[in-house]
Structure 1
């Protein structure tokens, strides 16, 4: 930070600045610049008023429009900021700063056609600037015009002169050129270009060169590819992708193993295991491929070695194999044999591996705890089994006992906090999580929220939801949505930085990752749960006004919230004081942290639901239907039902919604107007034929899925929707299978104990 003396204007210039403002108080550009300065100093509202006043005074000034765009960009209102920049360019078409900012906004908004035009303008104005050439190539690439991106790079490399040796930035551009050629499909040219520039040492990243060469040579069916893959495996023998590449080059696809390729793959992996005895990857990959006696032989060696070493993550490592029932049984036989052998030799019971037989698992764990009561993993495993049995309180207690045995183990502390949240002990979980947060933080939850801990936010929201505290749950779910919005906003700075530093390949990967951001499991989970809460509040608005929306707030929580308020107020005062004296930094353009005016989360129940595009998730389409049908958007509702039906036509919630939609339309006082009405009716008829009554439809579904508890519950809800007699609804339980009845009894006994 520059010294205070450098932040203030000299006396003469400061006097001149004040005189200008005094002499021309209505000058648009002057007002906008003054407003920008005030915003920069933290006086945001006053600054915005001045900027708007300046805009009204001079709508033909590119400076006014540019300043207004800067303000809107600081508010994360990228669409309006781009409109302001577009207006500014009408009056100053060759302003480099505005063009560059426009390019960043167009990339952020994925307006790639406009981005190409903007990058063309920048290159035309400054053809000697290297990043303008690369920026145009990237713009063509993002817009899908790969041939033109290739031409731009070739022209750029042709005119480039005096490149220093081992120039990392130039090396990154050349690697991007190789990537572009590979994506175009010109594999031979890509390999030739890579070899030429790697021999001349223009490309300096040796590992990346080897990876590109191996992949390109495999595509060209070159015999030398095997040696390149082997070299990569020797450099990193536990990287699964290298083994996949080597095997694929030899005609073995690990994702599509056949009887003909299985023996070849096992033989190859065995050779690597012999050559690299300390590598675990080839041994673990072999377990995915092998079957029968061969699997049992390999699994015995793998499990025995891991158990002798006491590898805590062994269960997580082999859990994926349990999808195959034969392999699951083989693993059970192996560990049972090892257990009996160890019990004879009086070895420690750390080698016990527990499978899905919960009663047997608890019996063995109790034996292990009696033998070695100081082993934390046994208590942690017992907690996991109890969690699977539906006993969250016993699971939390076991994890607490495990944590106490090794208080410095971060994994055990985190797991204990998670299990406490699952059991509904929010305050107790915060106490544990406070071990990882700042000591001067207002509260552990506030610090974890600042650190964007999705695990904590999701689990605490679920805990509030299970306790019926809808307001607090919704508030945490919306915080998760806010975290993902921040992830999306954070990419903005990289649109300029990555081109300046020529980190093109990583930048393109980031753009691709951001495009898939909303498919993250945490986002999907919170978006769907938040929508369910909104639907519940819509159906019963009294919940938002009732005490239950803010219930569950203990005296300790109230004290913590009051303390947090005071701490936040103090921080805001310090920030405001600092910003008024340190106008040299561009922090005023960023909005100040929002004050939490909703400590009890009651008003969160009145906010609008966040939308999400979760195309391949049935629950998301069900949630979309629930919202659409309540707003009488029947076309959107039937579209959601069609999408859900295409993904899973037998989904219990879909069955309920189909019946609900038919019932809603038949009981509606006014049908949708044409042409929407016939379209909705025809679409629903394809999913649920008109000649099939809802009673018959429900009975067919219930009979078809008589062994599914969720399906039976959905059928009961449909019967209730149709106002069926209570006796008929209760009679549905009689068709449950023995397994389902046992499950219901177990759940009831668990609830009674809790």
Structure 2
């Protein structure tokens, strides 16, 4: 090691500079960054190669916002003193701030080699090991912390949790028992001690030592050591049931009396009685009837009874349930009972009940029924329920007719307009839906929910800038843009809706930008747990902490992440198949109106991004602490780097990889995994995805396309697949589809078996395209979806339209004309000129006129001069 002045080693400083270095550490801890920087410079003036001081100066500079300069100093300091725990600790802090947890753990481990009993280092290592789910190493680290400081209560609990996470519950129990022996004079109602005891009971329960767990719970409750009385009742009832005790029934009854609106308590009671809801519906129904009598105001037992009853008994229970909700004016009644619609008999019963109430309460009824309230609100809510009912059944004209009656009765109820908007959206009139939702918003301009819904519907109509303006009414006024504020607030609905809107408009770069933002939100969720690894143990909130860890482990099974991952992966697959898409010039065949609209949108987007850049310019002051965490820097404002990434399939796989374990039962995910894997030449992944998807639903239309694609892919390979992967892939494929069956025959048989399904016909057409069929044959097959006997909906029709555009079919306009005639309420298949006029009509300000509230929600297309005005026609 080099010397200073012939006597001073590289690491060791004279007393004066050593004192300054200690002062530097203290100044850093208290965030006195300017003084710390001056102190570091004092030391480096005499000893410019002192590694620890260089690293500390670099750390201070990072906190002051001079990140690049600071990191360079840290790296230099490490080179000067590789055997110092301080330099490795500092480097670990820098890496942790960059979210490089694996590298940070390596740096901390290196630091521990030179200072094995440093408490701060050990605590940081434990947090990183928990973040990375390295539980075996976590046990060792927590054991070391406990050995060094056995008087710290949190070290005992932390070790027990480490054993618990590693799956060694027996050792966790031992640690807790030993910890409790050290306790003396614990006061009553100590919340931290209460949480620890509940955790001890949890460990015993998971060990299936139910008698011991119940004894500990009862003693702790009697001694007033456990504070949470509800938790005591819940755990006690659960333990008594597992012990098959006679007291269990009473324990569950006490819970139901405590909260008669909790579904879990009723299910626990029924389970304790040995009743399976599916196998013993009659007995369970009798018990629920008793609870309904005992708690007449409770809704849960009556609702559970509806799930179990059938036939005349269901009718007798459903009628008072629906009538009571309509009398009270409960808007969520349909949402409450919708899950029962899977039974056609119950669906028909609800329809008959609601129609009967509607008829009996109608103002036109000469003699009102004595059994039904004559309150006008009952009539109104019956209309609302029936409109939702018929909208759900795709009887859109009837639903809109009922909504017209309701609006004539009460034109100031926002729920009626939101229901109209939802119905028009389902019918394919996205512009009319947007206008209806805006009518709802205008009834209460201070309602954030209505504002959000109106913006959402505008995006679905392609009005992205107008939607952003609406959202700006409730976002920060000093934000660069409403979108920037919503992204900062991690608004998943906004990111997904705008991403989908850009994708539908062909702006794949901006769509990828939003989907990538969704991915960052989930990355932030994952990173946010880091601080809780230490905080939760300090505060003894162990039970909820373990629940959070479990939630984090399944984080990316969230529907929003799945939707974003699927949409982005499909774009990447399309880019791989057609690299021209990566240039961003995807509108070569667009009409003049479409090109003009895209140009205008691009200009507006650029203005928005310029404003965002200007507002987000970094401050020049270095006085404030910028922190170690690296702020997100957007170096791709228009998403073109994402679009033109050199390896799109790798980006797609990065999104889909978490879903291979978290969404194994989602057939769309499995198909997306196949699409990416087969193009990456990962044949085993592709085979597993196909086999799993077939086990879930062998007749799924998109799966049919992939099965044929896999067989065709193998047949056109220039060389056989190498062993052992090739034979396994071919064997798996042979189990799915026998090699004796020709692909053309297989496709024809699939089409014959599903001749009335539009999705199946579309899948057969896609399959024909894969097999190299002529364009005309594919087009003719697609046009058979227009036959009367085929079940075609707007969503499938839009997918078919996109497919024809993708294969550059000259019959797109012909298809649109036919679809426009077939879906009379839809505006999705209008010409670009008609859509431009619809856009103007949606944005007109005269949205509160009485004619709008009795119109059909869509601008009449027969007379283009009248676009922008409502006609008052009834549906």
TM-score range, shorter chain: over 0.9
The 1:371–1:3 alpha-carbon spacing in structure 2 relative to 1, beyond 3 Å, is farther
The structure with the largest helix share of the pair is: 1
Deviation sequence 1:643-693 (CA, Å, 0-9, x none): 322332222222212222222222222333233322322222222222222
User: Alpha-carbon deviation of 1:558?
Assistant: 3.4
- Alignment partner of 2:755: what SS? coil
TM-score by length of 1: 0.93
Match of 1:704 in 2: 753
Deviation sequence 1:33-80 (CA, Å, 0-9, x none): 111111122111111111111112222222121111111111110011
Native 8 Å contact 2:819 2:829 kept in 1: no
Deviation sequence 1:470-490 (CA, Å, 0-9, x none): 111111011001100100010
User: Alpha-carbon deviation of 1:746?
Assistant: 5.1
Match of 1:190 in 2: 213
User: Alpha-carbon deviation of 1:542?
Assistant: 1.8
The 1:15–1:217 alpha-carbon spacing in structure 2 relative to 1, beyond 3 Å, is closer
Native 8 Å contact 1:7 1:582 kept in 2: no
Native 8 Å contact 1:655 1:714 kept in 2: yes
The 1:361–1:605 alpha-carbon spacing in structure 2 relative to 1, beyond 3 Å, is same
Match of 2:95 in 1: 72
Match of 1:624 in 2: 673
Of residues 468, 484, 489, the one that matches 2:527 is 489
User: Alpha-carbon deviation of 1:742?
Assistant: 5.7
- Alignment partner of 1:475: what SS? helix
More divergent stretch after superposition (702-711 vs 479-488):
702-711
Match of 2:506 in 1: 468
Asked if residue 257 in structure 1 is aligned to residue 278 in structure 2, the reply is: yes
| In structure 2, C-alpha distance between the alignment counterparts of 1:687 and 1:299, rounded to whole Å | 46
| In structure 2, C-alpha distance between the alignment counterparts of 1:513 and 1:452, rounded to whole Å | 18
Match of 1:682 in 2: 731
Match of 1:35 in 2: 58
The 1:691–1:157 alpha-carbon spacing in structure 2 relative to 1, beyond 3 Å, is same
Asked if residue 558 in structure 1 is aligned to residue 606 in structure 2, the reply is: yes
Match of 1:351 in 2: 382
More divergent stretch after superposition (500-509 vs 89-98):
89-98
Matches within 5 A, 1:15-94: 17-94=40-117
Asked if residue 477 in structure 1 is aligned to residue 519 in structure 2, the reply is: no
Native 8 Å contact 1:310 1:351 kept in 2: no
Of residues 306, 318, 325, the one that matches 1:306 is 325
- Alignment partner of 2:297: what SS? coil
Of residues 470, 473, 481, the one that matches 1:435 is 473
| In structure 2, C-alpha distance between the alignment counterparts of 1:733 and 1:628, rounded to whole Å | 28
Asked if residue 591 in structure 1 is aligned to residue 630 in structure 2, the reply is: yes
| In structure 2, C-alpha distance between the alignment counterparts of 1:235 and 1:552, rounded to whole Å | 61
Match of 2:195 in 1: 172
Of residues 340, 347, 360, the one that matches 2:359 is 340
Deviation sequence 1:500-531 (CA, Å, 0-9, x none): 00000000000010011111000111101100
Matches within 5 A, 1:478-517: 478-517=516-555
The 1:358–1:323 alpha-carbon spacing in structure 2 relative to 1, beyond 3 Å, is same
| In structure 1, C-alpha distance between the alignment counterparts of 2:610 and 2:52, rounded to whole Å | 45
Match of 2:811 in 1: none
Match of 2:8 in 1: none
Of residues 290, 294, 305, the one that matches 2:313 is 294
Of residues 821, 829, 833, the one that matches 1:752 is 829
- Alignment partner of 2:829: what SS? helix
User: Alpha-carbon deviation of 1:240?
Assistant: 1.3
Matches within 5 A, 1:277-292: 277-292=296-311
Deviation sequence 1:172-209 (CA, Å, 0-9, x none): 00000001111110111110000011101111111111
Native 8 Å contact 1:150 1:181 kept in 2: yes
Unaligned runs of 5+ in 1: none
Match of 2:864 in 1: none
User: Alpha-carbon deviation of 1:562?
Assistant: 2.2
Native 8 Å contact 1:706 1:735 kept in 2: no
The 1:284–1:589 alpha-carbon spacing in structure 2 relative to 1, beyond 3 Å, is same
The 1:410–1:697 alpha-carbon spacing in structure 2 relative to 1, beyond 3 Å, is same
User: Alpha-carbon deviation of 1:327?
Assistant: 0.7
Native 8 Å contact 1:474 1:605 kept in 2: yes
User: Alpha-carbon deviation of 1:371?
Assistant: 3.0
Match of 2:807 in 1: none
Asked if residue 722 in structure 1 is aligned to residue 745 in structure 2, the reply is: no
Match of 1:611 in 2: 655
The 1:203–1:268 alpha-carbon spacing in structure 2 relative to 1, beyond 3 Å, is same
The 1:51–1:427 alpha-carbon spacing in structure 2 relative to 1, beyond 3 Å, is same
| In structure 1, C-alpha distance between the alignment counterparts of 2:768 and 2:64, rounded to whole Å | 63
| In structure 2, C-alpha distance between the alignment counterparts of 1:18 and 1:724, rounded to whole Å | 76
Asked if residue 669 in structure 1 is aligned to residue 718 in structure 2, the reply is: yes
How many residues in Structure 1 have an aligned counterpart in Structure 2?
Answer: 737
The 1:190–1:8 alpha-carbon spacing in structure 2 relative to 1, beyond 3 Å, is closer
| In structure 2, C-alpha distance between the alignment counterparts of 1:694 and 1:624, rounded to whole Å | 22
Deviation sequence 1:714-744 (CA, Å, 0-9, x none): 1111112222234543453587674426646
Asked if residue 210 in structure 1 is aligned to residue 215 in structure 2, the reply is: no
Native 8 Å contact 2:762 2:782 kept in 1: no
| In structure 2, C-alpha distance between the alignment counterparts of 1:547 and 1:39, rounded to whole Å | 41
Native 8 Å contact 1:624 1:637 kept in 2: yes
The 1:280–1:179 alpha-carbon spacing in structure 2 relative to 1, beyond 3 Å, is same
Deviation sequence 1:304-349 (CA, Å, 0-9, x none): 1111121111121111111111111000000111111111158343
Deviation sequence 1:237-285 (CA, Å, 0-9, x none): 21211121122222233xx323xx3233223223322332322222222
Deviation sequence 1:91-149 (CA, Å, 0-9, x none): 22111111111111111111111111111111111111111111111011001111111
The 1:675–1:742 alpha-carbon spacing in structure 2 relative to 1, beyond 3 Å, is closer
Native 8 Å contact 1:702 1:712 kept in 2: yes
Of residues 618, 623, 627, the one that matches 1:581 is 623
CA RMSD of aligned residues (A): 2.4
Asked if residue 424 in structure 1 is aligned to residue 443 in structure 2, the reply is: no
Native 8 Å contact 2:52 2:77 kept in 1: yes
User: Alpha-carbon deviation of 1:228?
Assistant: 2.3
More divergent stretch after superposition (521-530 vs 214-223):
214-223
The 1:10–1:270 alpha-carbon spacing in structure 2 relative to 1, beyond 3 Å, is closer
